[in-house]
Structure 1
């Protein structure tokens, strides 16, 4: 599956490296032609800025950063990238009207929908039974929409682990699944419910509800298809 890569034609500060806009080791990584094409094959959403070092319209991009979305830049003035920029239809470098935070939010909204939105215990039971040949993970949350982090994880691991989400404001779904009640004062927090492969009884994930911690956990339970690339190889 080709990665969902969102290309922006953006004007940046002069002298990218010296200006410190995209510092080495920072959240925005510079790509050459070959690395760009490799990125397109990754199972993840990314934003690529096609830039020109001589034009200074975009200091807002210094703060482009998200643990969920990868940000890259391609220098269209570099000889090795000219063919790539032409192929991508880059013809100009307009002024940026969005703040970096708005770009991050927009990128999150473009993550492919790989999470099944489940309503009520019956729907969850059917989903869990249908997907029993693989581990299944369900997010119980009070939020009205599926969090971007869960969407990103669902898109990244969808070939190995079916992802679901359900609104469980009063913990009634958790109770119907036979799960222990959340600790006092934690009713508003999200919980991740896990069905191991070929198991009918779910358990509650006890780790941190952070992107890196969840990614590491999913690496340990993912069922690997020999014909599909392991998500970790593309991180």
Structure 2
């Protein structure tokens, strides 16, 4: 038993994991009716041994995209990933990996990772640090997808449309994955793309299954 404990301690000293959960909540008003959606997202940073003073760390996500149901006006989805394979993203959209950390002033650098599990409280999202927003005029049809931003939501969704609130809040709440109930085409997208290493082409918007459910989710 002593050998096992010592071996586990040695392993943990070489391979370190930092994780935290946050709730993303977004509210959008259309025709003076406020619609709100939220989801719990988990960020996990896995770090290997330190080499030359630096650790190789890689992030992964659990949870699902945040869906705001607008009734007859469709749905707006805040995706986990931007769907872009190059940086900087032209419209400034931010992946869920960085979204909460940025709101709390944490850069998620090697030096800052250990602080992430100790975050507490709630922070509003700034207009220049928003997730990728995708509007589906018909939630049952993935071909109805269009990218929207804070600046153009009124011209695309409805003249009265405006974002009224958006924040992240540290939580220990459970992760719920029920995206298929909200976007019924998601299982088919997952089946078609999983294992293919699919990426969006430069300058081309494309739906990718990882945008909707994190790789750490069952």
For this structure pair, what is the TM-score category when the shorter chain's length is used for normalisation?
under 0.3
More strand by share: 2
Query: Higher relative contact order at CA 8 Å, sep ≥6: structure 1 or structure 2?
Result: 2
Give the TM-score normalised by the residue count of structure 1: 0.26
TM-score (norm 2): 0.27
More helix per residue: 1
- Rg comparison, structure with higher value: 1
